Amino acid sequence: MAQDRTDIQVTVKDSNDEAVAKGKHTREKLDLGSVKRHVFTQAEATAGLDHIYATKDYPDMSHCDLVIEAAVENLELKKKIFSNRRFKKLI
């Protein structure tokens, strides 16, 4: 059974608004392709996009059940993320 895409809230944390906007735009393009291939309806695609929230602050992620670190492969950046006291409160 396929999972209903609308029952999952996704929170994207980034300090760069442009990166978040680019990621959301990419998701929109992927969803449009899926609608064209009849994988799901336009309403389902819109509902899925409506469940993506962007934030610059770790506390906004305190409700998350799962946190996935997906920073670029930059060791210094990853050290900065994992040493942040606000991130540590999430794990």
**Which parts of 1-91 fold into alpha helices (H)?**
17-36, 42-49, 75-83, 85-90
Percent of the chain with pLDDT over 70: 92
In the predicted model, what is the mean pLDDT of residues 29-48?
91
In the predicted model, what is the mean pLDDT of residues 1-10?
62
In the predicted model, what is the mean pLDDT of residues 52-61?
84
Q: pLDDT at position 1, please? A: 34
CB 19 within 8 A of CB 55: no
Q: What length does the chain have?
A: 91
How far is the C-alpha of 71 from the C-alpha of 81, rounded, in Å? 9
pTM: 0.64
How far is the C-alpha of 75 from the C-alpha of 55, rounded, in Å? 23
